Homo-oligomer: A and B are copies of this chain.
Amino acid sequence: MSKPFDGRPVVPGSGRLRPLGIDEAEITGGFWGDRQEVNSSATIEHCHDWMERLGWVGNFRAAVEGRLPQDRNGVVFTDSDIYKMMEGAAWEVGRSGSSDSDHRFSSLTSVIAPVQEPDGYLNTVFGRPGQPDRYSDLEWGHELYCYGHMLQAAVARARTGHDDEFVDVARRVADHVCNTFGGGGIERVGGHPEIELGLVEMARLTGEERYLHQAKLFIDRRGHQTLADIHWGRSYFQDDVPVRDQVAFTGHAVRALYLASAAVDVAVETGDEVLLEAIVRQWEQTIAKRTYLTGGMGSHHDGEKFGENFVLPPDRAYSETCAGIASVMLAWRLLLATGETRYADLAERTLLNVVATSPAPDGRAFFYANPLHQRVPGVVPSPDFVSNRAASSLREPWFAVSCCPTNVARTYASLAAYLATSDDSGLQIHQYAESRISTTIGGGRRVGVEITTAYPDEGPISIRVTETDGSPWALTLRVPPWSREASVEVGGERRQVGPGQVVVERGFAVDDVVALELDMTPRWTWPDPRVDSIRGCVAVERGPLVLCVESVDLPGGQSVDTLRVDPGSDLEESDGAVRARGSLLTFEDRPWPTPGPVVSGSSEVAVPLTPYHRWANRGPSTMRVWMPVG
């Protein structure tokens, strides 16, 4: 390992922890390793094929050949999905050396680069005869949003060893944005935050201060009503209240979380403690009051928005896959800035219960929304079906708005970068996966470990030292808050540890093993009494996984809505399955408005529960995470 490039998605200029890159951390198998392989062998190609098939790539060719606007296909922001897929391909080149992905990236570059105009502008929807003027629709036009994803793709490309034509294109785009939206230019913001993330990272990559300055300008301008008052109000795109003054994340969830991530980036680069504190405060409020048990964010289908505090309906949970990814991006930035384990706790919850829920096992179908309760079994979609976006009763091959599949692709390809960090004193492991980690800590010392585990399905995690110079350094392990008991064994000595983190500091020798054991006993989880929609319900979790009941596991495949569980009973675990005791009710329909009970029968049952991330893998079903008590 230690590949000859800086493979980090996020490279803060300062902060408590130093991120490792995919040149320093490698997932070698297990839960995430399997998923990275599927992403590499199927998902990236699947996304590319669909975007060719639907003419989204063709939009760039049509631009060069003068066939726009008449030959344009897809929604206004399809350019961005190509960039996100390219970002995934770039990380994949870095991760596995995939020549397929390398070719994919280069060939798309040759399609896209000729579309760039002399002043750097690059978009397939605006500015040509018959198209609306450039930047004439900042609310919905998504030009700046598309640029943001292009810049992130370029950063991925450059940081995996290829400072190529696409990076040059992106640099010209970044310059163009600064020239156009700087002071004295168009002093407004784009409807969908994302450019800010791209600009900060380009500044970090290139050292170009004006990119950072422009990102800060965008952050500071937002909330000052430079965008129109649309159907959902300006809070939809966070233009109602300045970022620093907001109380909790509000409006369109992906927009809010990309914006917050960029605000952390700007705060870190400019030493703006007040801005950082504002985001931390909003994060705390959001986690406590606007976040699903799965880590999912954004409860409303209408406007893809955060709800008010405690509005977390399980059946109408939107919990968009992209919002989950954006939440992980934010948590990662806050973890790097502060070193606090709570951010890694949320990232784990979200990765395993939202992000991992989206793609099908074959990597060729996706959930866009991630509800916690499915009342009606879905209909198996045709492989040619392009859903609008959020039907999500079964995973679907593609969407007219297809942000989620490409977001999964880029996240999975770069996932190793989110496992661990370093500081002068040693190494911090935040996410447990079969992996190898190797980096340099204070004093130029090389340290490395190899992690063996069947996590998240099993609790033992074995960390074997592979590189060390014999002098003392600290291995810090996250102990998740759900682990009622946890222990760590070093040098034959086992001790109990509490939630938070455990630091093992010593003069390690190669092949020394630190063995962490987390408590995987399944547990009942009670909801916050202020969440109305799940009153009288309980959920079951096991380790970091949220479980659910699916109708395919009930007698006769009957609806999960007939189930009542008894949280006074012990959860049973056998043959790898968790079972909950309860009863199945029979309901009698009575003509309106007859009052009185409608329960006409009841039978006892011990129902098997399934990890939520696996739901709907066995075909159409009804499903519940929160199960009524009774």
Q: Which of A's residues lie within 8 Å of B, judged by CB?
A: 231-232, 284, 287-288, 291, 300-302, 307-311, 313-316, 342, 345-346, 373, 375-376, 388, 481-482, 525-526, 528-530, 532-537, 561, 585, 587, 589-595, 597-599, 628
Contact = CB atoms under 8 A, between A and B. Distances in A.
Contact of A532 (B315, B525, B529): B315
B532 A592 contact: no
B316 A284 contact: no
Nearest to A590: B288
Contacts of A231: 388
Contact of A313 (B316, B376, B525): B316
Given A342-B592, A375-B310, A592-B342, A628 B532 contact: yes
Contact of A535 (B308, B481, B526, B535): B535
Nearest to A304: B302
B536 A593 contact: no
A431 to B, nearest CB: 16
A533 B313 contact: yes
Given A308-B376, A375-B308, A536-B535, A529 B313 contact: no
B529 A593 contact: no
10 contacts: A284-B591, A287-B592, A300-B316, A311-B316, A311-B375, A313-B533, A530-B561, A530-B598, A532-B628, A535-B537
Contacts of A288: 589-592
A316 B316 contact: yes
Contacts of A628: 529, 532, 535
A234 to B, nearest CB: 12
B587 A530 contact: yes
Contact of A302 (B302, B376, B533, B593): B302
A408 B317 CA distance: 33
A530 B630 CA distance: 12
Contacts of A593: 287, 342, 345, 481-482
Contacts of A342: 591-593
A525 B526 CA distance: 26
Closest 8 CB pairs of A and B: A301-B302, A287-B592, A302-B302, A536-B536, A535-B536, A231-B388, A533-B533, A308-B375
Contacts of A591: 284, 288, 342
Given A532-B533, A535-B628, A590-B288, A595 B525 contact: yes
A376 B302 CA distance: 18
Contacts of A316: 300, 307, 311, 313, 316
A537 to B, nearest CB: 7
Contacts of A284: 591-592
A623 to B, nearest CB: 13
Contacts of A302: 300-302
Given A288-B589, A388-B231, A592-B342, A598 B309 contact: no
Most B Cβ at <10 Å: residue of A345, A375, A593: A593
A280 to B, nearest CB: 11
Contacts of A589: 288
Contact of A598 (B313, B529, B537): B529
A449 to B, nearest CB: 27
B533 A599 contact: no
A536 B626 CA distance: 14
Contacts of A585: 529
Contacts of A536: 535-536
A302 B304 CA distance: 10
A48 B530 CA distance: 44
Contacts of A307: 316
Given A529-B597, A530-B587, 4 more contacts: A288-B592, A316-B316, A342-B592, A535-B535
Contacts of A310: 375, 561
A345 B592 CA distance: 10
A308 B532 CA distance: 19
Nearest to A525: B595
A481 B595 CA distance: 9
A381 B536 CA distance: 37
Nearest to A482: B593
A397 B312 CA distance: 30
A523 to B, nearest CB: 9
